Structure 1
Amino acid sequence: MANLDITPIDDNQDQNKSITVPFTEEEKALIKQYKDKINLTSTTDVIQFGVGSQTKVSNFSNEILKQVRTKDMGGAEDVLLNLRSDIRSFDENVNKKPLIPFFDNMKKKLQRMRTEYQSVEKNIHQIELKLEGHYKNLGKDVHIFDRLFQENQNYFKELSLYIAAGEEKLQEAHAVTLPQMKAEAEETGDQHKIQAYKDMEQHVVRFERKVHDLKLTRMVVLQTAPQIRLIQNNSSSLMEKIQSSLVNTIPLWKNQMVLTLGIAHSQKALEAQKAVTDATNELLRRNSEMLKESTINVAKETERGIVDIETIKKANQDIVSTIEQVLQIQREGREKRKVVEQELLQSENELKNNLLKSAADDKLIQ
Structure 2
Amino acid sequence: MSGTTTETRENQAERPVAPQRVAALAAEIDLRDPSTILRFGAEAQNRATAAADAMLGAARNQATGEAGEALSGLLATLRGFDVTQAGEKPGLLGRLFNRGRAEATAIIQRYEGVRGQIEAAGDRLDGHRTRLLEDVERLERLYGATLEWFHALAEHIAAGEAVLARTDAEIIPAAEREANDAAQPLAPQRLRDLRAARDELDRRVHDLRLTRQVAMQSLPGMRLIQENDKALAAKIHSVLANTVPLWRTQLAQALAIRNMREASGAVRAATDLTNRLLTANAETLRQGNAEARIELERGVFDLDAVQRANAALVATLEDSLRIAEEGRAARRHATVELAKAEAEIRRALTARGPGGAAPGR
**TM-score under structure 2 normalisation?**
0.62
Given the alignment, which residue of 58, 66, 78 partners 1:67? 58
Bigger mean CA offset, 74-83 vs 166-175: 74-83
Residue 229 of structure 1 is aligned with which of 223, 227, 233?
223
Offset, 1:188: 3.3
Question: Would the alpha carbon gap of residues 182 and 90 (structure 1) be closer, same or farther in structure 2, given more than 3 Å must change?
Answer: same
Deviation at 1:117, TM superposition (A): 1.7
The superposition leaves residues 27-69 of structure 1 with CA deviations (integer Å, 9 ceiling, x where unpaired) of: 2111101111201222211111110111122122112322332
TM-superposed deviation, 1:115: 4.4
Instruction: Say yes or no: does 1:35 pair with 2:44.
Output: no
- Who is 2:308 aligned against? none
Are the counterparts in 2 of residues 93 and 116 from structure 1 also a CA contact under 8 Å?
Answer: no
SS in 2 for 1:40: coil
Aligned counterparts of 1:85 and 1:112: Cα–Cα separation in 2 = 21
Counterpart of 2:35 (choices 44, 49, 64) is 44
Distance 1:232 1:103, change over 3 A: closer
Q: CA RMSD in A?
A: 3.1
Q: Equivalents in 2 of 1:102, 1:241: separation in Å?
A: 35
Q: Counterparts in 2 of 1:15-34, with a 5 A limit?
A: 22-23=16-17, 27-34=18-25
1:319-358 deviation digits (Å, cap 9, x = unpaired) = xxxxxxxxxxxxxxxxxxxxxxxxxxxxxxxxxxxxxxxx
Distance 1:137 1:101, change over 3 A: closer
C-alpha distance in 2, partners of 1:90/1:189? 100
Q: How does 1:283-322 map to 2 (within 5 A)?
A: none
- Say whether residues 1:81 and 2:72 are aligned partners: yes
Is the Cα contact below 8 Å between 2:122 and 2:240 reproduced in 1?
yes
Aligned: 1:247 with 2:256:
no
> Residue in 1 aligned with 2:165?
171
Q: Does 1:161 align with 2:155?
A: yes
Q: 1:94–1:113: 8 Å Cα contact kept in structure 2? A: no
Aligned equivalents of 1:216, 1:127: Cα separation in 2: 47
Q: Could you tell me which of 1, 4, 7 is aligned with 2:13? A: 4
Deviation, structure 1 residue 71:
4.0
Matches of 2:16 and 2:96, distance apart in 1:
82
Moved over 6 A (4+): 92-98, 100-103, 105-109, 268-271
Q: CA deviation at 1:139?
A: 1.9
Give the Cα–Cα distance (whole angstroms) in 1 for the partners of residues 142 and 72 of structure 2: 30
Contact 2:132–2:229, Cα closer than 8 Å, also in 1: yes
Letter of the structure 1 residue corresponding to residue 49 of structure 2: S
Q: 1:266 to 1:103 in 2, by over 3 A?
A: closer
Identity %: 28
2:124 partner amino acid: K
Tell me the distance in 1 between the aligned counterparts of 2:96 and 2:253. Answer: 24
Q: Check the 8 A contact 2:97/2:262 in 1, yes or no.
A: no
The one-letter code of the counterpart of 2:240 is L
Instruction: Return the index of the structure with the highest Cα Rg.
Output: 1
Please list the CA deviations of residues 236-277 of structure 1 after superposition, one character each: whole Å capped at 9, or x if unmatched.
Answer: 111211111222221121111110122234446999xx9xxx
SS in 1 for 2:63: coil
Q: Equivalent of 1:118, from 95, 100, 112? A: 112
For 2:107 and 2:180, the matched residues in 1 are separated by 101
Distance in 2 (alpha carbons) for counterparts of 1:159 and 1:67: 24
Are positions 1:259 and 2:263 aligned together?
A: no
Report matched runs for 1:205-216 at 5 Å.
Answer: 205-216=199-210
Number of aligned residues: 253
Deviation at 1:22, TM superposition (A): 2.1
What is the Cα deviation at residue 116 of structure 1?
3.7
Matched with 1:278 is none
Matched, 1:140 2:138: no
Shift of residue 114, structure 1, vs aligned partner: 3.0
| Aligned mates of 2:143, 2:256 — CA distance in 1 | 53
Residue matched to 1:219: 213
User: Per the alignment, do residues 260 and 206 of structure 1 end up closer, same or farther by CA in structure 2, a change over 3 Å counting?
Assistant: same
Structure 1 residue identity aligned to 2:139:
F
1:31–1:269 Cα change, 3 Å = same
Shift of 1:132: 1.6
Q: Is the 8 A contact 2:83 2:251 kept in 1?
A: no
Q: CA deviation at 1:104?
A: 5.6
Letter in 2 for 1:224: S
Report 1:336-355 matches (<5 A): none
TM-score with structure 1 length normalisation?
0.62
1:80 to 1:102, Cα distance in 2 relative to 1, 3 A: closer
Distance 1:37 1:54, change over 3 A: same
The whole-number CA distance in structure 2 between the counterparts of 1:56 and 1:82 is: 41
Match of 1:185 among 157, 176, 179: 179
